[in-house]
Structure 1
């Protein structure tokens, strides 16, 4: 397993070692000791699976109470996965990192607490799986607009399919101080 630190502090790309033969493939998607050795010390308590159709855009979501670190992978199809830094004290506050996750590249994206997360579906369908370090807390749920001009994310989809809730999220500059991470 190759774990690579990214330019925004706390973000990592994980590239598993894949064993393939004529039966298919096998890889370890998570090994606590390898993550710990790379400096990622997190305990996961919840696994989620999401299925979405082409053009779907989910995000940008986070939890201010019960914040979650996430380990995301795409099991079917292709997505553009995005993390936006919402840590007020960070040099990269308001900046984002994006990468393509797919069933063929088998990469994973580790996002620590303090980030908003979202993704767009680049294939006909996508199934993603992600581990969370805390439980879903609807009272602590927050979000920012997917099309915030101060962030300018190129989601690589046209005519994206959004939930009503995601269309009504505030822009980053509209967030209250208590809705940001220190």
Structure 2
């Protein structure tokens, strides 16, 4: 497994496994504490694993946590997703930087998203399972959502959006969220 820094988002990393494939399919390591530690992250900091299943065209995001934020490892374990990260850490050298990735069950690449970054994705296949390893227990009172279609984010979702949650549909734009965080 190798770790590669994401230049557009300070502190973000892609963890790419080395799968062993044969006639049965493949086997690969999707988490390695030593590799995580080698980039300065604490592998024991992750306290919760979650999984979402989405249909083609579904968008989930853009989400982040207030307070101390929430760092996470994200991986598409089945299917394929278009994944987006936006750096909303005011003192980050990549503040307001954006990066997008195609994560897939075939590649099993894991994306590390630092606390303070907004995250969302769109399912590109009929079924897409996305796994999350999170560094804090979920507290709904800290949920922050930014409109996935906000012109300030300028995210070019690759497919027509077929479905979003009510929370995502009613989310404020980036400028409003940034203004709320200042007060």
Question: Normalising by the residue count of structure 2, what TM-score does the alignment of the two structures yield?
Answer: 0.92
Contact 1:16 1:28 in 2 (8 A): yes
Q: How many residues align?
A: 180
| SS at 1:136 equivalent | coil
2:29 counterpart residue number: 28
The residue number in structure 2 matching 1:79 is: 81
- Is residue 2–residue 35 contact of structure 2 (8 Å, CA) maintained in 1? no
Distance 1:83 1:142 in 2: 14
Aligned-pair Cα RMSD in Å = 1.5
Contact 1:66–1:140 at 8 Å: present in 2 too?
no
Map of 1:13-162 to 2, 5 A cutoff? 13-42=14-43, 43-162=45-164
Which ranges in structure 2 are unaligned for 5 or more consecutive residues?
A: none
Question: Equivalent residue for 1:172?
Answer: 174
- Deviating beyond 4 angstroms after TM superposition, the runs of 4 or more aligned structure 1 residues are none
Superposition deviation, residue 28 in structure 1: 1.2
- CA deviations over 1:112-134 (Å, ceiling 9, x no partner): 10101110011111011110000
The question of whether the paired residues in 2 share the 8 Å contact of 1:66 and 1:137 is answered with: no
2:2 matched to 1:2? yes
Q: Per-residue displacement from partner, 1:68-101 (whole Å, max 9, x unpaired)? A: 1111111111101111111011232222111000
Structure 1 unaligned spans of 5+: none
Q: Is the 8 A contact 1:145 1:168 kept in 2?
A: yes
- Secondary structure of 2:37's counterpart equals helix
Which SS does the other structure have where 1:82 is aligned? strand
TM-score (norm 1): 0.93
Aligned residue for 1:153, secondary structure, equals coil
Change (3 A) 1:33 1:164: same
